[in-house]
A and B are shown apart, each in its own frame.
Chain A
Amino acid sequence: MVNVNLQASGVSNPVTAVLLNFRGYDTLLEMGVLLLALTGVWSLAGKTPRQAGPPDPVLELLARILVPLMILVAGYLFWIGGQAPGGAFQAGSVLGAAGVLILLTGWQAGPVADGPGLRTVLVAGLIVFILAGLATMGSGRRFLEYPPTAAGMIILVIGAVATLSIGLTLAALFLGGRPGPPPEEQ
């Protein structure tokens, strides 16, 4: 059934078509699950912050070489997802792994992580997905029922934002507690 309707999906990779078009609501809810898990982890964050020792020089060198490469691979995986195995989740996972590697070297996000920027990217995937659904409803279709002519572009935009959100969420889940300065003792 997927292969019969593949023409209308806007992409030629059937798995991406299922994930971001035919069963888009699954993926939409999954972005919600990711966000819920992160909210849970943040609200559970313990009192003891992770001790940051001096980073291992080998690890630091490795991260310097690998992280740009992983970002490149993530971009490729996302882009190729339209035609071949790949896609937002795979790319997001690679981005998340790059984030974990950065965190392992003891890198501190500092004040950037405490501002609204980080949270905007974290929720952007879900927000863009919902906006796309509402936009399709606004044009007289059902929720997340893309018009076949624009489906490719919609999937591209949702996928790109979802990739960033998934990658950042996974890295933030690894970090455990909320980034930024430790909360005041009550």
Chain B
Amino acid sequence: MTTGLLFALIGAVLFTLGVHGLIVHGHLLRRILAINIMGSGVFLVLAAPGGGPAGPDPVPQAMVITGIVVAVSATALALALVLRIRDATGRSGLPGDPSE
């Protein structure tokens, strides 16, 4: 198994774990974490092709850099939304969440 394939497989596993977490958990913080884990999986898959004789392909590398910064800012916005929801409703989970 090549390194690139290993990276891609781990990325796919992370993405699947993230989807699972997103569906199973009702608490909004856990959902944000799950989306971030999904994003990390996507970044791993993008970066997986690795180096050829001319070095790594710069286009996916640049996309990953862009993606990481967008993911961070989207997470910050989501966290602000969660805080606002908690201020407004006193809860930070979806209705029916057992951890409430």
Measured CB to CB, the residues of A under 8 A from B are: 2-3, 14-15, 17-19, 23, 26-27, 30, 33-34, 37-38, 40-41, 44-48, 87, 89-90, 92-93, 166, 169-170, 173-174, 176
B61: nearest chain-A partner, CB-CB: A15
Q: Which residues of B contact A41 (CB under 8 A)?
A: 76-77, 80
> Which 6 residue pairs spanning A and B have beta carbons closest together?
A14-B58, A37-B73, A173-B76, A18-B62, A41-B80, A44-B80
| Contact present for B62 and A173 (CB under 8 Å) | no
Q: B65 touching A89 by the CB < 8 A rule?
A: yes
C-alpha gap A86/B84 in the complex (Å): 36
**Interface readout for B57-100 with A: 1 if CB under 8 Å, 0 if not?**
11101110110111011101101110110010000000000000
Task: Give how many B residues have a beta carbon under 8 Å from the other chain's beta carbons.
Answer: 24
- Contacts across chains A and B counted by CB atoms under 8 Å: 77
Q: Report chain A residues within 8 Å CB of B54.
A: 3
Return 26 A-B CB contacts under 8 Å, by A number.
A2-B57, A15-B61, A15-B62, A15-B65, A18-B61, A19-B62, A26-B63, A27-B66, A30-B66, A30-B69, A34-B73, A37-B76, A38-B73, A40-B80, A41-B76, A41-B80, A44-B84, A45-B80, A46-B84, A46-B87, A87-B65, A92-B69, A170-B69, A170-B72, A176-B76, A176-B79
Known: A18-B62, A89-B66; 8 extra A-B contacts, CB below 8 A, are A3-B55, A14-B55, A19-B66, A26-B62, A33-B74, A40-B77, A89-B69, A169-B73
Expressed in whole angstroms, the Cα–Cα distance for A145 and B63 within the complex equals: 19
**Distance, CA A30 to CA B87, complexed state (A):** 30
Chain A nearest Cβ from B83, distance in angstroms? 5
Q: Nearest residue in B to A4 (C-beta to C-beta)?
A: B54
* B18 CB to nearest chain A CB (Å): 20
Please give, as numbers and ranges, the residues of chain B lying within 8 Å of A2 by CB-CB distance: 57-59
Kindly list chain B residues whose C-beta atoms are within 8 Å of the C-beta of A17. Answer: 58
Residues on B with C-beta less than 8 A from A38 are 73
Q: Which of B68, B69, B70, B84 has the most CB of A within 10 A?
A: B69
- Tell me which residues across on chain A come within 8 A of B63, comparing CB atoms: 26
* Residues in B whose Cβ lies below 8 Å from that of A174: 76
Q: How far is the CA of A37 from the CA of B68 in the complex (A)?
A: 14
In the complex, which residues of chain A have a beta carbon less than 8 angstroms from the beta carbon of B61? 15, 18
Q: How far does the Cβ of A178 sit from chain B's closest Cβ, in whole Å?
A: 11
Q: Given A46-B83, A46-B87, A37 and B74 touching (CB < 8 A)?
A: yes
Residues 22-66 of B, flagged 1 when their CB comes within 8 A of A and 0 if not, give 000000000000000000000000000000001101110111011
